[in-house]
A and B are shown apart, each in its own frame.
Chain A
Amino acid sequence: MSHSNNATEQVLRSSGVDVRKCMRCGKCTATCPAFDEMEYHPHQFVYMVEKGEIEKLAASPSIYKCLSCFACVDRCPRGVEPAKVVEAVRLAVIRQQGQNHMKSDDIPALLDEDMPQQLLVSAMRKYSK
């Protein structure tokens, strides 16, 4: 894969996923509850990382749509763990300066009286550094 570069290696290392195990069955995408919101779907994340197309994924809002429900992780017959790839790409983006997807200033507007803390904590953790 000629696109293989530092970004790809970083994603592979950080996710710990062996993308070559994928047999392209599409079960991850079949089971994904965030399918409709995504531009690139779980199997595409795996395939595109294998091809080294990190930039396309990094630029896509799809990285914020994954619900971390682990359904793709559990149901993948090849043990590929696509959710970890999605998270690794997202991390690669938000770790860069000024790339926080959610800022603490955004929060007050989102609040409602019943909202549990864990929602804000997890959102900050998922979307910012």
Chain B
Amino acid sequence: MPVTEYKPKIVAFCCNWCSYAGADGAGSARLSYPAEVKVIRVPCSCRVNPMFILRAFQRGADGVIIAGCHPGDCHYTSGNYFTRRRMTLLFSMLDYLGIERERTRVEWISAAEGAKFSKTMNEFCATVAALGENKRLEDLRCKK
């Protein structure tokens, strides 16, 4: 049997001011992470609607990560504090539905933390890859 390495699909929402700049920093420093990670730029982590996350899963993403400025450093002063509450509740809910907790993540990555960006993405990819393909969200409604 040919061994094919499973490659998960990862969507990363990055805030324009810190984490997107952090991702650029990772690029400038040539700190690699898997190509499975695709970044979507949003003005602030608080722009990320739970609908986007579910939409990504719906369209076959295996993991979704949101990256924003560190709490207290939000370009818009309070955006990431709201992100923190919203995602805490959403992730807890997904977990409550029995969907693997490790498929969703929030990280605070500053513009100066290119290394953290790369490290985080490497770790997240490895975690999601270990879980395998995302099925559960879809499976919740299986018409028998």
Judge A-B direct contact (beta carbons within 8 Å): no
Interface residues of B, Cβ cutoff 8 Å to A: none
